[in-house]
Amino acid sequence: MTTDLTSKKDSFKKTPKQKVLSIVKTLLIYGLMFAVIYIAINWWRQPVMPANPQLQLIDYQGQTVDLAALSQEKPTLVYFWGTWCSVCSFTSPTINKLAAANDYPVVTVAIKSGTDQELHRYLNENSYRFTTVNDQEGEIFADWQGQVTPSYIILKDGEMTQGLTGIQPLWSLKLRLWLSSVF
């Protein structure tokens, strides 16, 4: 009786090829589930363009930043972040690289990050050279119905074409800006 049981057990063993295919299938299913959940959450948390957005802002150094004019020339990335945001410490260097490349305009909005002097000190300590608006009370971010930092919007011709949140690699931001310029 035990020999019958053993032979049946051996006949159900997977070959190495079947094991690899099973692992690949499982990874694809979990990857697809992750992608769907990530896209849904990102869509739900993304900023929303207000009916009458304030597109003329003043940066922390007192210079006028006209988002509508910038976005007429090329798609413009607006990056909402905070000095207190731990995730932003990973995303801000990417934004700094994007701004330094000078391929697309980049404007950042520092949310509740202290006085202009404190913000200036933080930017210098981290060697950030991007244009920054100091949203001391969080009113600009609230106007865009922002929920989480970091958040990003892409403006083209004064209109929001994309909104996203979380960690974004440089290639993803460049691709999104390029797509906004093409479509």
Calculate the alpha carbon distances from 103 to 72, 95, 98, 99, 174 in Å: 14, 12, 8, 8, 9
Tens-digit pLDDT profile for residues 85-103: 999 999 999 999 999 999 9
Q: pLDDT band for position 8 (50/70/90)?
A: low
Class of domain 56-182: alpha beta
For residue 86, what pLDDT is reported? 97
With a cut of 90, say whether residue 12 has pLDDT above it: no
For residue 89, what pLDDT is reported? 97
Average pLDDT, the chain: 93
Angle at 140 between CA 72 and CA 171, to 5 degrees: 55
| For range 117-140, the mean pLDDT | 98
Lowest mean pLDDT among 28-42, 57-71, 154-168: 28-42
Residue ranges of the domains in the chain? 2-45, 56-182
Give the residue with greater pLDDT, 135 vs 2.
135
Number of Cα atoms under 13 Å in the Cβ half of residue 75: 20
